[in-house]
């Protein structure tokens, strides 16, 4: 009994010291993390005009959500739904391009005999470069007199050139942005696949070689199934990145021309900080709507892909 009491006291002391050690982190989370999150949720139910104080915000009920979801504010609603459609196009394109390309490059690099390090370094460059500088470089490439148009002119494909620049035409601006996003996401996904490839037992490939399997058959029947858990993570990461995308679009097009590259994060930013007639409450409401959507999409993709693994 005495011994038990001693043990329970020691356990309590142990627990107390553990809590004390965790306290700074918990405090920081409560102040910076949880408080901000709760505050933002709360604000989404209030009107707060540009230049007003939060203390003077006016209760709006569900008005902010109705404004963009149900069209109570026709122009904002049009903008929101168009931006959401662009977000979905980016999501689908990114997943459809990033996953196979990253996998293919990783597998090819795994199989080449010489220069692996050089190629890996080159391919990882987008990850270690300053993204803002890179987006400006891409903007230059896409200009009417930029590298891409000059290249097309040089090879005699004048009809394929974009007269107003690749970011300046309604039908090329979004694909041009998607190309940059895909280019930026491939290195991160490649690292995941590199790591995954190291875990596949080489005996499987040796057996396949003995059976006379081709490169494609090995990729399809050994590599792909073995890397499915990695693919689940890669898909979810790509989806999250694509839904929350902001920097390249804001820097390269600000959502234009004519809203053709507008995504929800750009609409939110404009509503909160750019539009003098904007409403910080509505911006928060759109932000939480996007969070809910991201959460649902991630959940669905995780379950779907896990079922198949």
Partner 1 sequence: MKKNVWTKRNMIAFATAVLLLALTACGGGNEPGNTGTGASPGGSAAPKSDVTLTLWHWKVGFDPGLKAVADAYKKKTGITVETQVTTPDDAYTQKVTAAATANNMPDIYLYWSGPTNGAFDGRAMEWSAELDKDPAWKNSFYPSALSGTVIKQSQLDSYAKDKKASDWLKSRQIGQYYGIPIDVGSFYTIYGNAKLLQEAGVPLEAPPTVEQWLKDMDTVKAKTGVPGFVFSAKTFSVYENWMANFQDYMKNGPEEFTKFMNRESKMSDPAHLQVAKFIEDISRSGNLLKGAVTLDIDPSDQAFAQGKATYTLGGTFTLSSLTALGMKPEDIVSFRVPAYEGSKVPDAKLPSFPLVQAIVTDNGPHKQEAIDFVKYLTSEEGMTLYAAGALDVPSVQLKNRDSLSPILQSMIGSIGSEANWYADNADTYNKVFGAEWNKFHEMKQKIILGSATAEEAAREFDKAAEAEKAKE
Binding site for partner 1 (CB under 8 A): 17, 20-21, 23-24, 27-28, 31, 47-49, 51-58, 73-76, 139, 142-144, 163-165, 167-170, 253-254, 256-259, 269, 273-277, 279
Q: Pick the closer one to partner 1 by CB: 167 or 235.
A: 167
Q: What's the min distance (Å) between Cβ of 12 and partner 1?
A: 14
Question: Which of these, 161, 179, 7, 170, lies nearest to 90 by C-alpha position?
Answer: 179
C-alpha distances (whole Å) from 244 to each of 83, 180, 227 are 12, 15, 26
| Residue 79 token pair | 């903008």
In contact, 193 and 102? CB cutoff 8 Å:
yes
Q: Pick the closer one to partner 1 by CB: 87 or 253.
A: 253
Q: What's the min distance (Å) between Cβ of 92 and partner 1?
A: 24
Q: What's the min distance (Å) between Cβ of 3 and partner 1?
A: 17
Q: What's the min distance (Å) between Cβ of 280 and partner 1?
A: 8
How many other CB atoms are there within 10 angstroms of residue 55's CB atom?
A: 6
| Residue 252 token pair | 């390269």
Provide DSSP, 199-216.
TS-HHHHHHHHHTT--HH
Measure the CA–CA gap between 243 and 230, rounded to whole angstroms: 20
Q: What's the min distance (Å) between Cβ of 65 and partner 1?
A: 15
Q: Pick the closer one to partner 1 by CB: 47 or 218.
A: 47
Measure the CA–CA gap between 95 and 11, rounded to whole angstroms: 49
Helix (H, G, I), strand (E, B) or coil at 71: coil
């Amino acid at each position: 009994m005495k011994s038990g009491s001693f043990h329970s006291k020691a356990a309590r002391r142990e627990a107390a010291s553990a809590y004390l050690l965790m306290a700074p982190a918990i405090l920081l989370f409560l102040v910076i993390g949880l408080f901000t999150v709760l505050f933002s949720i709360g604000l989404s139910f209030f009107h707060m005009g540009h230049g007003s104080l939060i203390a003077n915000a006016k209760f709006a009920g569900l008005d902010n959500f109705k404004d963009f979801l149900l069209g109570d504010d026709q122009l904002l609603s049009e903008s929101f739904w168009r931006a959401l459609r662009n977000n979905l196009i980016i999501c689908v394109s990114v997943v459809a391009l990033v996953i196979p390309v990253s996998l293919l490059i990783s597998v090819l690099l795994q199989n080449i005999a010489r220069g692996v390090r050089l190629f890996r370094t080159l391919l990882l460059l987008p990850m270690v470069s300053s993204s803002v500088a890179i987006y400006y470089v891409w903007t230059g490439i896409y200009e009417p007199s930029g590298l891409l148009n000059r290249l097309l002119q040089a090879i005699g494909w004048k009809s394929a050139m974009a007269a107003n620049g690749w970011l300046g035409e309604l039908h090329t601006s979004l694909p041009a942005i998607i190309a940059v996003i895909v280019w930026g996401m491939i290195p991160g996904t490649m690292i995941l696949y590199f790591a995954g490839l190291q875990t596949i037992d080489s005996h499987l490939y040796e057996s396949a070689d003995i059976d006379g399997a081709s490169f494609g058959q090995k990729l399809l029947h050994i590599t792909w199934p073995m890397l499915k858990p990695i693919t689940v993570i890669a898909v979810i990461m790509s989806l999250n990145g694509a839904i929350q995308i902001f920097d390249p679009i804001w820097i390269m097009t600000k959502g234009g021309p004519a809203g053709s590259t507008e995504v929800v994060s750009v609409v939110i930013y404009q509503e909160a900080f750019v539009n003098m007639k904007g409403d910080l409450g509505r911006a928060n409401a759109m932000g939480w709507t996007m969070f809910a959507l991201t959460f649902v999409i991630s959940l669905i993709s995780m379950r779907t892909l896990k079922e198949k693994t």
